[in-house]
């Protein structure tokens, strides 16, 4: 069946009886059920923690560990996101220790203006009127985005991507994930090839996902296959020598999802992710293993009481405004004031 936009819908019978009385459903109906759940929970205040193990063969395949703590307030459009990142090491007894100083980044989209504040170097901020920067930043900097339906490498929820798929189908048999029979959707899109295990017993949430991007498949808004620019002169030779020259493939496995029922809705609370990126024809590989857990969630937030979407940079913070290039601003009394040209 051909749908608008050239999408091919592959259905073998509208419904198919399977084990435990479950029925195989049409893919778009499954996605509609998932969209209902996602949109019902998109207005929230969330606190979460993430532990990352990053391994890169370009730098000896030695594991590097990070701990990140997030605070997110969003109404589905506006965003107020704070992330605190710490490098950590483990001693011989397995105890965790923080190495160096934590880095705090705070990003706000209030519906008209985007800003990012970072604590590095005494603190600085950037501002822009382009809302698309929000999508790119949240997708790349917020580990919990996958629990809101935005898979790594994407900039919008997976259901919105799959509804415009080139081809989409549902596997003949339901497949168990954590003992629950799941509908399995397979789709090819401009963003890559997706396989989603949808859990009908937990609000049609995603219980497992696999994603592969190659060639011209979109990765954070650009082609996955990418030639990196050369580093500028003066960069340490060792860093330049180890740096990949091309990216060919990006893949994701999302698994071990745990749900909790909150205010009558099933909400994903915890997940493990493995991401792998292949560079230089497969000679170099970067792998990131991540464990993300929501520690607090409020689905009926009072944004005014939480003072969400309000910038409170420290007075004196240097501010760089995209629409005012070459002019340094400083934050004073809740707004940027021009200081000098640079």
pLDDT, greater one: 224 or 1: 224
- Of the pLDDT bands very low, low, confident and very high (cuts 50, 70, 90), residue 2 is very low
pLDDT confidence of 234, banded at 50, 70, 90? Answer: low
- In this predicted structure, the answer to whether residue 58 has a pLDDT above a threshold of 80 is no
Closest by alpha carbon to 336, among 124, 25, 134, 105? 124
Whole-number Å distance between alpha carbons of 281 and 288: 19
Q: Tokens standing for 15?
A: 């419904």
Check residue 19 and give its pLDDT. 40
Give the span between the Cα atoms of 168 and 29, in whole angstroms. 12
User: Given a cut of 60, is residue 83 above it in pLDDT?
Assistant: yes
Question: What does the pLDDT look like over 165-204, one tens digit per residue?
Answer: 999 999 999 999 999 999 999 999 999 999 999 999 999 9
- 3-class SS string, 84-114: EEEEEEECCCCCEEEEEEEEEEEEEECCCCE
pLDDT of residue 231: 54
Highest mean pLDDT among 55-69, 91-105, 193-207 belongs to 193-207
CA distances from 156 to 43, 138, 159, 326 (A): 16, 10, 9, 32
Task: Quote the CA–CA distance of 64 and 52 in Å, as a whole number.
Answer: 8
- Give the pLDDT band (50/70/90) at residue 219: very high
Max CA-CA distance within the chain?
A: 71
Which one, of 166, 254, 163, 161, lies nearest residue 206 by Cα?
254
CA distance 262 to 265: 5
CA distance 245 to 241: 10
Tokens of 144: 């919990």
Average pLDDT along the chain? 89
Q: Is the pTM of this model over 0.85?
A: yes
- CA distances to 7, 236, 268 from 119, rounded to whole Å, are 46, 25, 31
Question: Tens digit of pLDDT for each residue in 301-324?
Answer: 999 999 999 999 999 999 999 999
């Amino acid at each position: 069946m051909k749908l608008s936009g050239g999408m091919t819908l592959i259905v073998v019978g509208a419904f198919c009886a399977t084990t435990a009385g479950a029925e195989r459903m049409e893919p778009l109906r499954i996605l509609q059920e998932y969209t209902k759940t996602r949109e019902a929970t998109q207005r929230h205040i969330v606190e979460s923690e993430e532990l990352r193990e990053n391994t890169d063969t370009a730098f000896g395949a030695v594991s590097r560990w990070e701990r990140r703590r997030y605070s997110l307030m969003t109404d589905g459009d506006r965003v107020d996101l704070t992330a605190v990142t710490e490098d950590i090491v483990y001693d011989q007894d397995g105890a965790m220790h923080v190495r160096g100083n934590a880095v705090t980044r705070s990003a706000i989209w209030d519906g008209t203006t985007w800003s990012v504040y970072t604590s590095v170097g005494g603190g600085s901020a950037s501002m822009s009127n382009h809302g698309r920067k929000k999508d790119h930043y949240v997708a790349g900097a917020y580990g919990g985005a996958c629990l809101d339906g935005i898979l790594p490498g994407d900039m919008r929820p997976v259901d919105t991507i799959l509804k415009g798929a080139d081809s989409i189908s549902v596997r003949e048999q339901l497949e168990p994930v954590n003992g629950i029979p799941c509908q399995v959707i397979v789709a090819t899109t401009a963003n890559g090839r997706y396989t989603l295990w949808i859990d009908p017993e937990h609000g049609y949430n995603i219980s497992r996902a696999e994603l592969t991007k190659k060639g011209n498949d979109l990765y954070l808004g650009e082609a996955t296959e990418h030639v990196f620019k050369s580093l500028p002169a003066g960069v340490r030779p060792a860093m330049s020598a180890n740096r990949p020259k091309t990216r060919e493939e990006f893949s994701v496995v999302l698994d071990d999802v745990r749900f909790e029922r909150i205010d009558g809705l099933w909400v994903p609370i915890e997940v493990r992710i493995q991401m792998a990126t292949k560079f230089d024809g497969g000679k170099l590989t970067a792998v990131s293993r991540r464990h993300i857990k929501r520690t607090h969630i409020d689905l009926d937030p009072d944004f005014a009481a939480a003072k969400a979407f309000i910038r409170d940079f420290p007075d004196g913070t240097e501010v760089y405004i995209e629409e005012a290039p070459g002019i340094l601003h400083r934050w004073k009394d809740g707004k940027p004031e021009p200081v000098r040209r640079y």
